[in-house]
Structure 1
Amino acid sequence: MKYKDALSTMDMAPKKFMLILFFTVIAFGIALPMVLWLYLSPLLQVGTMAVALALPMFLVLVVFIWPLLMASQRRIKTDRQLPAFVTELAALSTSDMSFDKIFYILSQKSEYGPLSGDAKKIYRLIKHYNVSAAEACRFVSAKTPSKMAKDFYSRLAHSIEVGEPLDRFMRNEHDIMMDEFMLKCETALKDVDFMKEIFTGIITSLIFVCVFVAITPILGSTAVEVMIYGVIIAFLFMEGLFVYLIISKMPKDDIWYSILLKIKNRKIGDKDRILIVSIFVAIFGMVALTSLLLPLHLPWMLLVSSVCLPSLIPGILIFREEKGIEKRDAVFGALIRSLGRSASVSGQTMADSVKKIAIHKFGPLTKPVRNLSRRLAMYIDPRESWAHFAAETGSNSIRRFSNIYMECILAGSKPDETSLFISNNIFKILAIRKKRITLSGNFLGMLYGVAVALAVTLWVTVAITEYMADVIANINLSHTGSFDIGFISSIFNANFNSDLLTIMVVSVVVIHSFFSALMIPLIKGGHIASAAVHFVVLVWIGAFCDFIVGIVMKGVLS
């Protein structure tokens, strides 16, 4: 995006931002570096002085690129929320409400992020400034950093000008938007799949670096400690970078109804309480195991893997519940379509329509639907009834789309068309989700294979260096002066620190296990805590490889 376009998308006036940038350059780009140079240069070394001068310049750079960062963040949020926004707009367009009233309702939905702000601008321009709907849409189109949203508002403005009914336009636009969303998601999945090969290559390269660091004492190097810390930092940086790339590339699809949102809405259920208790039990178990196992002086890899075992408790519970949520999501599309058709054909109220379909079975949604029917029959507020229904399912998709259905029906939208928009959206999201699950399965096999190769190679390296250290220490030469030359001298004077190498291997295995475990739920879209299961398995792979390699190398090198 061009810098000028990024400035136009900011909430702040461009002139005001340029004024702030000007004073930042004067204060932190010129004045402060001069003061630091005059007063600190005689006291500090060249490297330290360079860092001191770089810090204020970095602040100037951050302020300069701030519009680009904000525009990029807003674009990502807009693209992620646009399909649901268009779905609700399409459903509301089937009602008899005016154009500005529809956008007023959308402006109240804070979950749409920047799109709710765009809807508020359109409503205010029409209602308070007497701007035509087409011009209001064009104004917002010029301000948004998202190409998808820009094109959508432009097409909407054109359809209004030519007199096309909003419901007819949105009926076609919804399909176009979902197809574009599907194409974008599939492209992102292909990019992440390609990253898999890059990740394997980089980890393989870092493994060779670890092996080289282990044998550097033979080459006469005395800075082994610095190199070992450098290897650990390199693994931390590279794997963290890949996790960041996955987060930025993958389309956002939260499967779980957020526990924080449940607490805020006071919708905590028994399953949520069990999960919360299991987390505290896992933390207590890890602390207790640490205090019990430390005095036993176990090998570091076995100690770390044993301490991590209690985290399996919440991990397995979350993994099992996630499977149930996926099953409920798969049924919800058919449920909402049946509900819309029932309400449209019979002309009944929402409570009667839900009661009518509640006599049928909907698999894992049967009990929540019957509970919803009972609440509506007792004249409990529909919003509260549907909120409890969503909380029972634990699904974020059901929460969002059931809320869209309920709000649109209460606003006067047609039930059959509303349910059709929602179910089509859900089915396409589920299709993307299946592809994500397939990709996560491929990643899982690759990550486990890399973990085995990493652990075996590094533990073999440690065993060989320990053997070389013992051999060199037991050599007794009567005339050492004849070997005090060049490379031969460095071999006999090599000092292998096997304890430091072991710490390096344990750190690398734990870092790799942690970030590899995070990648699986990020790709799949599941709860981040389900990574605990993969983390424990990967760490135990490292411990098992340590045990097996120790036995094999003792037999080979004895």
Structure 2
Amino acid sequence: MNSYERLCFNLLGKRMKGKRDEYAQLRNDLISARFKTPFEVYLSTAFVSAIVVGLLAAVFIGLITWLLKLPTLIKYRGAVPGPLVVLSTYSLQIGTIAITIFSLLVFGGLTYAAFVMYPSLEAGNRRRNIDATLPYAINYVTSMSTAGITPAEVFRLLGDSPIYGESSVEARYIAREIDIFGRDLIDALRLVSSSTPSKRMKEFLQGAMASISSGGNLTDYFRTKADQYSLENRQTQKLFLETLGLISESYVTAMVAGTLFLIILQSIMSVLSGDNHPVFLYAITYIMIPLGSIAFVIMISSMTPEA
């Protein structure tokens, strides 16, 4: 907890403690994202940051509005009710106040929403990373278990292997529950399985719990899950490549051939009509093509499995 978070907690921490039930989803997201910031501190920081950003944005935009006299540039033509005619003489003051309040609400609300949504997004990133690295992590676990290493030591060694990404982080939390809090392996697996964002990891840990509780062969279980997840991983990669091929065809059709056709058509129409400022052509060139390409990049990036 840094000094800014400590300040926010000192200002609002006591009030935030009563909101644990109201923000149950946020608490779960913080745990799944493995944030080290406590819930009360994070929520206090969110509220204070929203207020600070909202006030700064409101003051800045209000000053710009007042200096440039933007409200006076708005002209209304038509019948105006009597009371509004009287208020029109104060249009600069009223408009500046309205824009300032609007900026405060918009920028403050966006900042607060970003704080609330960020743990969920981070948990989603961790879920994709765990799902991608879990087959390789289980192969490592299987090798260690085959060598006769105890299950607790297996997860401890996996936690010390950063090459397995977020799967190593989950194993590190299992080792922490055992080494620091003195829990047995089953309790540690239960706690981590209840907080991990990955359904694959949850299923794997719960299966390990069942195997240990029933006295089954844990090495055989690890080997079975390694084969299962490796097969699922290959199927996922195959499906992604097929989807990527479909997206590439759509991109060529929509963003290359389609926009080229529109540019040629609009150019001919501009020449025939003598239009020196073809607005639609500018919109295609400077808005449609860049935004469309960015949209395809974002879509592919969100669908791409973690390496």
Q: Same-fold call, TM > 0.5?
A: yes
Aligned residue identity for 1:26: I
SS of residue in 1 equivalent to 2:146: coil
1:70-120 Cα shifts (integer Å, max 9, x gaps): 112212221221111111011111122222211221111112222211111
Q: Which runs of 5+ in 2 are unaligned?
A: 1-24, 74-95
Distance 1:192 1:134, change over 3 A: same
Aligned residue identity for 2:234: M
Task: Report the counterpart of residue 207 of structure 1 in structure 2.
Answer: 260
Structure 2 CA distance for aligned equivalents of residues 216 and 63 of structure 1: 48
Partners of 1:206 and 1:235 within 8 A in 2: yes
Structure 2 CA distance for aligned equivalents of residues 17 and 177 of structure 1: 36
Partners of 2:129 and 2:306 within 8 A in 1: no
Return the match for 2:192 from 136, 140, 147: 140
Task: Report the counterpart of residue 151 of structure 1 in structure 2.
Answer: 203
Partners of 1:8 and 1:14 within 8 A in 2: no
Say whether residues 1:231 and 2:285 are aligned partners: yes
Aligned residue identity for 2:221: F
Return the match for 2:161 from 109, 120, 127: 109
Task: Report the counterpart of residue 246 of structure 1 in structure 2.
Answer: 300
Superposed counterparts of 1:443-458, under 5 Å: none
Partners of 2:50 and 2:111 within 8 A in 1: no
Structure 1 CA distance for aligned equivalents of residues 266 and 109 of structure 2: 35
Distance 1:146 1:129, change over 3 A: same
Return the match for 1:39 from 63, 81, 85: 63
Partners of 1:100 and 1:127 within 8 A in 2: no
Aligned residue identity for 2:250: I
1:247-304 Cα shifts (integer Å, max 9, x gaps): 3323345xxxxxxxxxxxxxxxxxxxxxxxxxxxxxxxxxxxxxxxxxxxxxxxxxxx
Structure 2 CA distance for aligned equivalents of residues 61 and 123 of structure 1: 34
Distance 1:127 1:4, change over 3 A: closer
Q: Give 1:212 shift.
A: 3.7
Structure 1 CA distance for aligned equivalents of residues 270 and 59 of structure 2: 44
Q: Give 1:177 shift.
A: 1.6
Structure 2 CA distance for aligned equivalents of residues 147 and 80 of structure 1: 12
Structure 2 CA distance for aligned equivalents of residues 113 and 148 of structure 1: 15
Superposed counterparts of 1:139-538, under 5 Å: 139-203=191-255, 204-214=257-267, 215-219=269-273, 221-224=275-278, 227-228=281-282, 230-253=284-307
What percent of counterpart residues are identical? 22
Aligned residue identity for 2:63: Y
Partners of 1:133 and 1:160 within 8 A in 2: no
When the two chains are superposed, the root-mean-square deviation of aligned CA atoms in Å is 3.0
Partners of 1:75 and 1:146 within 8 A in 2: yes
Partners of 2:139 and 2:223 within 8 A in 1: no
Q: Which runs of 5+ in 1 are unaligned?
A: 254-558
Q: Give 1:14 shift.
A: 2.1
Partners of 1:28 and 1:57 within 8 A in 2: no
Structure 2 CA distance for aligned equivalents of residues 223 and 75 of structure 1: 50
Structure 2 CA distance for aligned equivalents of residues 218 and 60 of structure 1: 52
TM-score (norm 1): 0.41
SS of residue in 1 equivalent to 2:177: helix
Say whether residues 1:7 and 2:60 are aligned partners: no
Say whether residues 1:124 and 2:148 are aligned partners: no
SS of residue in 2 equivalent to 1:245: helix
Structure 2 CA distance for aligned equivalents of residues 194 and 5 of structure 1: 36
SS of residue in 2 equivalent to 1:223: coil
Q: Give 1:205 shift.
A: 2.6
Q: Give 1:176 shift.
A: 1.7
Structure 2 CA distance for aligned equivalents of residues 55 and 25 of structure 1: 8
Say whether residues 1:20 and 2:54 are aligned partners: no
SS of residue in 2 equivalent to 1:145: coil
1:475-526 Cα shifts (integer Å, max 9, x gaps): xxxxxxxxxxxxxxxxxxxxxxxxxxxxxxxxxxxxxxxxxxxxxxxxxxxx
Structure 2 CA distance for aligned equivalents of residues 191 and 78 of structure 1: 22
Aligned residue identity for 1:42: W
Partners of 1:122 and 1:136 within 8 A in 2: yes
Aligned residue identity for 2:53: F
Aligned residue identity for 2:64: L
1:458-477 Cα shifts (integer Å, max 9, x gaps): xxxxxxxxxxxxxxxxxxxx
Partners of 1:32 and 1:56 within 8 A in 2: no
Structure 1 CA distance for aligned equivalents of residues 32 and 51 of structure 2: 25
Q: Give 1:136 shift.
A: 0.9
